[in-house]
Structure 1
Amino acid sequence: MPKFKVSQEINLPDIPFPFRWIPSENAADDIKLAVQKRTEMTVERLCWVLRNAPRSNSIRDYISSFDVSMVRSNLSTNLNGHNPLFYAVASMHVDVVGLLVGLGGDINVALPSRPGLSIPLIAFAALEGWCRLRRHQGTEMIRKLLALGADHELIPRDMWEDYIRAPAKLAPPGALPPKATWCSGRIRIALAKALNLTDRYLLFTAEEYKSPSRLQSQILSDTQSKSLFELPFYVVAQRYAIERIQKSLMSHIVVQDRRPLVLIFGGPSGHGKTELARQIKDLLNVSFHNVNCTDMKFNNDIFGPHAPYKGYEDGSPLNNFLADRNGNRAVVLLDEFEKTSQEVHHTLLRPFDEGIYQDRRNGDNVGCKNMIFIMTTNLFDDEITAFYNNHLAKKSHTERKNVNGTIYRELQSRLRQKMRQRFGVPLAGRIREIVPFFPFSPTEFPVVSHKNILKLSDSLYPPPDKDNKRYLGKIHIEVVDEEAVCQNIVYDSQEGARSIERDIEDKIRNGVLDLYLDRDDSLENIAKSPLMNMEVTIEPNDGDRKMIIVRDNGTISAPREFPLSF
């Protein structure tokens, strides 16, 4: 069957070695030498570095050795019609793309593929990930581009608005949207195949959340907090929680409160409480400390003993973390906080109220007004689940957005009353916000399923390596009919994402493992062979029931192409 060579449509030409010395065997050595010699940056050299650097830190070192004005000048220059950002995206180094966009790179730049066809950077990321068999990296690149403000309307709306369903090969009747006139014919067919379920969900998310205002951007930039508005792209669902967290963090930053920000995340396990706390840490680029509160019964357990009692000079992990970050912003996660005692609650009153803590080791005052304390708890599970069942479970996504705010305020009132009963009025009064995390909807849990399948596929991609005890590898997972597969992963609202992860391990990972171990081959030979192509699909089983099947579909190599009859 003839092929549509989409790899040629998005192909970036190779670049001759651009430096004035004989190239070494390792590109990283050449880049290091270019930094040492302070050779002038040209667009050829920048694109060569982006194309050939084995690791992102080599690229960052190279870029940071030049004045910002020189980097910006080269980012606005094309190499034979190709902007350097396309080489950055093709490298699949997400952090490098973020760096270049921050330095002035045009995130909506287009690739002049051929006369009449210019492919936007975000579409290029999807096509590149599909062709090169790096779906997970392609998706992470799309996530970053959208989080940084890429225009989601460059992709036709009909391809992502109903994100659960795979987009149609052909555009619906009528004129294409003005920003998406490029997307027709064979390139539309290719993009329909390349956009996976998570990609489509991210495009849908970009429609849902508005960008920060000019004033918000200025304030957040000045406080190194602008990435706060990227939060919706890094957590599946939990729209209400994200909005409450963003508002609380924005208020804390703008007002410059003398007290730390204290939040409590409530809701059933496995629905993103800990994940969201870690994402806040990552996006704000701050330190993080996790306290398991299961055994925190006495104030010594959490902060260490006072002098002169034995062990006071050692402090405690939390005591030392706060002291080491005196006055700086950081995130402290107090996990399973409902298991703490009244003595621990009393110990937290002063730092939560005054933004000052006394180091147990030496008595020095420690500033903690910039700290973000996040408590997680299952204390409110019954109330939050009942609210979801009564007010959200049977509503469409659009209807949920229009739920009366009074109903949410009533939930907050009930949760705060229960919090006062359990933690006492003094501590409850110092907690700024109770953030409820709801169960996943029927259109949300398949996204969580797909996210975990992508992670599994990415973990199986590298070759096996006996020396490093890596026995499973050189595998590509291809999901046929993502909608059906991801909807047939078991989701238990009491266990959340953990139930999804367990079912994927049982039905997909173990299916892959069985086929892999049946090979009459050696690890050394597998490491040198093409990727095994494991196909995950759905088959009928016992009437209306469906069963997830894993098949060995031979081998596959990059770049792959599209059959013209697709």
Structure 2
Amino acid sequence: MAPSYSHPKMVPFNLVLKDVYYIPKLIRTRPDVSIDDELLEATSSHMFHVVSLCTAVSHGCSVEAVRSYVEHYREEESDFKEMMHLATPVLYFAMGRNSPEMTSLLLKFGMSPHGPDDEAHFIPPLVFAAIHGYLQSLDMTEVIKILLASGADPRTVPEDIYLARGLNLSQRYFLHRASLCEPLMEREVQLHELLEVTDLGKLPYRIIGQLPVLKTLQEIVFNQMSSNADGSDPLVMVFAGAPGHGKTELAQQLGDLLRLKHVTVACSQMETDTELLGSKQGYARSKEGSKLNNHLSHNNGLCSVVFLDEFDKTSQDVCESLLTLLSEGAYVDRRMNRNIDCSKTIWILACNLGDEAIASFHESKLAHKQEKDKLIADLEPLIGELRDAFKERWGDAFESRIDEVVPFFPFSPGEQAVMAHKFLLEKAARFRKDIDLRKEVIRHMGHCIISFKDDSKLCSYLAERGYHRSSGARGLEREVRKVERKARRRYNCIRGLVTEDMNKGPFEKLEVRLMLRGDGGQDIGVIRKQEG
């Protein structure tokens, strides 16, 4: 018999998963109104109603409606934490919808990534997500990453079932990565919460590869945020390495995870400081400023992230225009001639300088190490070599203003395959959307589930054909586009015209797999999967 959960401020309830891994169907009480309105009407009760919330989530209510409902009962913090822990069954209904946004919100409210205390009727959320995804032909990768980033124990999914059909290649990769990440210490958790940077812990689940530098990068940024209260200098980092290995993506993710305003400035063809910062007051077009000038002005005295992409391709004039700005955080807005405080700015300069040195170091010192050993590898010899390259390119004065150097390494064969899988999943997600033949959309191929047979072998094949350390993920994207073309060709071979009424019927199902050619080689094929 399922236990009854109770709290003085909650309506008593009992909920269990059907056969441990199926979400029970819950009936609405007010089908005459929208599901959002039905949930918000429930706030008329002074008691938090878990079953009402589960019902609303399962029937498609919005994330904002859930936020409003839960916040309505947020009064005494200790009571709220206890209520959220007891309300953890709601998390399974969010996962049942395959909603990363809803899952993330509920976890932030305090629902447990480990699941309810009732282990007899609830399997761990990670296991549920994997099984539910397999049973419903859903890609639950983003939900699984959110659970891991929120502290779910990867050991609840034993490694001997990593190759089970319920787990795809990306999910196996991030489960393994989570097993290598050390949990934060008690005081670290406290300070993360005080600084409102708890999402920084999600960084390892936002990019592929770069394991040797991620922990250090988190510590660098965390230390900068901690220092801001007492006054600090700008943080200047150089992301160095060949294109296509995550420099731009990681810079953008940092801004998002820290919930900071961030700007990306393409520097590849900049020759003068006017192109970077705008014309000085009194000169033509000075009122327009520039992308960077205006960002700094709008974030006067605030912490923000500036990403200067392909900075190694700028001129010496541009470098010299940044010297005072990078060292002291002092700047004068060129539109209004007013002083701007940039002392809390996080600067990230991306460059390809030293890519050969990075590749050589990776090959000799890292490529043959176990993942856990890469975490403790000594990168100082490489960083010293990179600093020498920066001095030669930008001069001693500019190099001395660089606080941290973050090398981006070539992908290992396994990481190459996971990157290819990431691109495949993105394509599959697009094809799963409903058919929409409106002129402004024209989604002709839709309502279609694409699966990948033996995804590890398939993606390794794509990696062998598409990856090169000089271009990184870009070659993998090219190979995946070829797969997309084959899938679309197979879809168009099906008899009959495509109509939007097909959205009301069963999903079309295609499978991508490796096939043997007549000459004994392999090629990628796409087949139509029939029901039954």
How far the C-alpha of 1:270 sits from its partner, in A, is: 0.7
CA distance in 1: counterparts of 2:359 and 2:515, whole angstroms: 33
Task: Give the Cα–Cα distance (whole angstroms) in 2 for the partners of residues 531 and 282 of structure 1.
Answer: 35
Map 1:437-476; keep pairs closer than 5 Å. Answer: 437-467=408-438, 468-476=441-449
Report the equivalent of 1:389.
363
Partner of 1:376: 350
Note the C-alpha offset of 1:101.
2.2
Task: Choose between structure 1 and 2 for higher RCO, CA contacts under 8 A separated by at least 6 residues.
Answer: 1
* Structure 1 match to 2:56: 49
Shift of 1:314: 1.8
Among candidates 264, 273, 276, match of residue 247 of structure 2: 273
3-state secondary structure, aligned to 2:196:
coil
SS at match of 1:46: helix
Q: Identify the residue that residue 530 of structure 1 maps to in structure 2.
A: 506
Instruction: Name 2:380's counterpart in structure 1.
Output: 409
Structure 1 counterpart of 2:59, which letter?
A: N
Q: 2:26 aligns with which of 15, 26, 34?
A: 15
Higher mean displacement: 468-477 or 417-426:
468-477
CA distance in 2: counterparts of 1:396 and 1:305, whole angstroms:
52
How far residue 49 of structure 1 moved from its aligned partner, in angstroms, is: 2.2
Note the 1:395-434 alignment, pairs <5 A: 395-398=369-372, 400-401=374-375, 403=377, 405=378, 408-434=379-405
Question: Which of 228, 253, 261 matches 1:287?
Answer: 261
Structure 1 residues 528 and 85, CA gap change in structure 2 (3 angstroms): closer
Query: C-alpha separation between the residues in 2 aligned to 1:352 and 1:340?
Result: 16
Name the structure 2 match of 1:129.
133
Aligned to 1:212: 184
Q: 1:400: Cα distance to partner?
A: 3.8
Q: Separation in 2 of the partners of 1:314 and 1:242? A: 38
C-alpha distance in 2, partners of 1:55/1:465? 23
Query: In the TM superposition, what is the alpha-carbon distance from 1:227 to its structure 2 partner?
Result: 1.6
Structure 2 residue corresponding to 1:202, chosen from 167, 174, 178: 174
- The Cα of 1:428 is off from its aligned counterpart by 1.1
Paired residue secondary structure (1:145): helix
Task: Answer yes or no: is the 8 Å Cα contact 1:228–1:246 preserved in 2.
Answer: yes
Deviation per CA, 1:161-207: give whole Å up to 9, x if none: xxxxx2xxxxxxxxxxxxxxxxxxxxxxxxx2211111111111111
Letter in 2 for 1:23: P
SS of the equivalent of 2:308 reads strand
Aligned AA (2:456) = E
Moved more, 142-151 or 360-369: 360-369
Q: Which amino acid aligns with 1:260?
A: P
CA apart distance, 1:131: 1.9
**Aligned partner of 1:84 among 87, 90, 94:** 90
Contact 1:75 1:84 in 2 (8 A): no
Relative distance call for 1:38 and 1:284 in structure 2 (3 A) is farther
1:488 shift after superposition: 0.4
Letter in 2 for 1:515: R
Aligned counterpart, 1:144: 146
Paired position in structure 1 for 2:67: 60
Q: Give me the whole-angstrom Cα distance separating, in 1, the residues matched to 2:373 and 2:327.
A: 39
Counterpart residue identity of residue 473, structure 1 = G
Structure 1 residues 395 and 546 mapped into 2: Cα distance closer, same or farther (>3 Å)? farther
What TM-score results when the alignment is normalised by the length of structure 1? Answer: 0.84
Q: Please state how far the C-alpha of 1:244 moved relative to its aligned partner.
A: 2.8
SS at match of 2:183: coil
**TM-score relative to the length of structure 2:** 0.89
Q: Pick one of 437, 453, 459 that aligns with 1:480.
A: 453
Please tell me the residue identity of whatever aligns with 1:140.
E
Matched residue, 2:210: 238
Q: Structure 2 vs 1, CA of residues 528 and 91 (structure 1 numbering), >3 Å: closer, same or farther?
A: closer
Letter of the 1:540 counterpart = L
Does the 8 Å contact 1:531/1:555 carry over to 2? no
Provide structure 1 residue ranges, at least 5 long, that are not aligned to the other structure: 1-5, 161-165, 167-191, 557-566
Paired AA for residue 533 in structure 1:
K
**Using the alignment, how far apart are the partners of 2:288 and 2:255 within structure 1?**
26
Gaps of 5+ in 2: 1-16
1:312 counterpart residue number? 286
- Say what the alpha-carbon RMSD is for the aligned residues: 2.3
Pairing partner for 2:111 from 92, 105, 126: 105
CA contact (8 A) 1:262 1:431 kept: yes
Residues 85, 116 of structure 2: 8 Å contact kept = no
Inter-CA distance 104–497: structure 2 relative to 1 (3 Å threshold): same
Question: What CA distance in whole angstroms lies between the structure 1 residues aligned with 2:60 and 2:117?
Answer: 22
What is the distance in 1 between the residues matched to 2:104 and 2:372? 32
1:343-399 CA-partner distances (Å, limit 9, x unpaired): 111111122111222111112222222221111111221211122222233444355
1:223 matches 2:223: no
- SS of match in other structure, 2:514: strand
Partner of 2:14: none
Aligned: 1:497 with 2:473: yes
Measured after TM superposition, the shift of residue 542 of structure 1 is: 6.0
Deviations 1:504-525 (A, max 9, x none): 110x211110011122222324
Per the alignment, residue 29 of structure 1 pairs with 37
Measured in 1, the distance between the counterparts of 2:99 and 2:75 equals 20
**How far is the alpha carbon of 1:213 from its aligned partner?**
1.4
Matched to 2:412, the amino acid is: S
Hey, what's the Cα distance between the residues in 2 that align with 1:104 and 1:96?
Answer: 13
- Per-residue deviation at 1:413? 0.8
Identity of aligned residues (%): 29
CA distance in 2, matches of 1:384, 1:261: 23
Q: Which whole-Å deviations, capped at 9, do the CAs of 1:295-348 have from their partners, x for residues lacking one?
A: 221111111111111111221111111111112222111010011111111111
Q: 1:23 to 1:118 in 2, by over 3 A?
A: closer
The amino acid that maps onto 2:191 is I
* 1:513 paired residue number: 488
Aligned length: 506
**Which of residues 157, 161, 174 in structure 2 aligns to 1:159?**
161
- Counterpart code for 1:91: R
1:120 to 112, 121, 124: 124
Structure 1 position 9, deviation (Å): 3.7
C-alpha deviation, 1:72, in angstroms? 4.0
How far apart, CA to CA, are the structure 1 residues paired with 2:471 and 2:280? 40
Aligned-partner Cα distance in 2 for 1:267–1:542: 41
Amino acid paired to 1:95: E
Asked if 2 retains the 8 angstrom alpha-carbon contact of 1:53 and 1:59, the reply is no
Residue 542 to residue 333, structure 1, CA distance change in 2 (3 Å): farther
CA 1:125–1:71 in structure 2 vs 1: closer, same or farther (change >3 Å)?
Answer: farther
